Amino acid sequence: MKKKLIIFDLDGTLVDTSVDICNAINYAIEPLDVPPVSVEETKFLVGEGITRLFEKLLVRKHKKFSCSQLVERFSEYYSSHLIDFSAPYSNVLETLGSLKGFRKAVVSNKRESFTMRIMNELDLVRFFEVVVGGDTVPSKKPSPEPLNYVLSKTAVAPEDAVIVGDSNYDIEAGKAAGIGTVGVTYGFRSIEYLREADFIIDGIGELEAVLGAVR
């Protein structure tokens, strides 16, 4: 029997948001008098929410600065530049449109308000029944709590669901929730972070074939 529910990650899975996030980070850290971060460094830093990102960055830069100040500066800039350079990955819209037999949800560690705005502005929200952001429930991925929230909202059993994501946080959350896991290699994390996934795909267009094999 095929899965009934597909839960997608957003950043690095459905949408390439790396440049806009990088620009917002560099705006935020400008007062620190440190070199700007690159897009590749940004891809490695994201995944656990913006507060955790700046905690990791401050340790890396050996700087003492209030995370709350950086988060405030980041949010101020990012709110006005959400999709300057962000766009769905290749074949995302086509694939979502073809998955008519599945219920679909998004679980992101990005703030719910940012998540919804990006999905609305990029014409993605119409495909999804439930959208969960990093502040929708108390815990973020890799906690299973946001996935369990989706299962509860949709009344779908764990064995009938699968998560599709680009990071170890998605895979760990899926395993903890008892649902299937599919890692995508084109996103923010390299393949070594996806080794524990049940399936690994190189393009979102491969998802339909994989879903036929997921049990």
Eight-class DSSP state of 158: G
**Catalytic residue positions, numbered:** 9
Tokens of 88: 């769905």
By the 8 A CB rule, do 179 and 7 touch? yes
By the 8 A CB rule, do 57 and 45 touch? yes
User: d(Cα 127, Cα 120) in Å, to the nearest integer?
Assistant: 11
Eight-class DSSP state of 89: P
- Angle, alpha carbons 108-16-177 (nearest 5°): 30
By the 8 A CB rule, do 170 and 155 touch? no
Q: At what angle do helices 18-29 and 67-80 cross, to 10 degrees?
A: 130
Cis peptide before 142 (omega within 30 of 0): yes
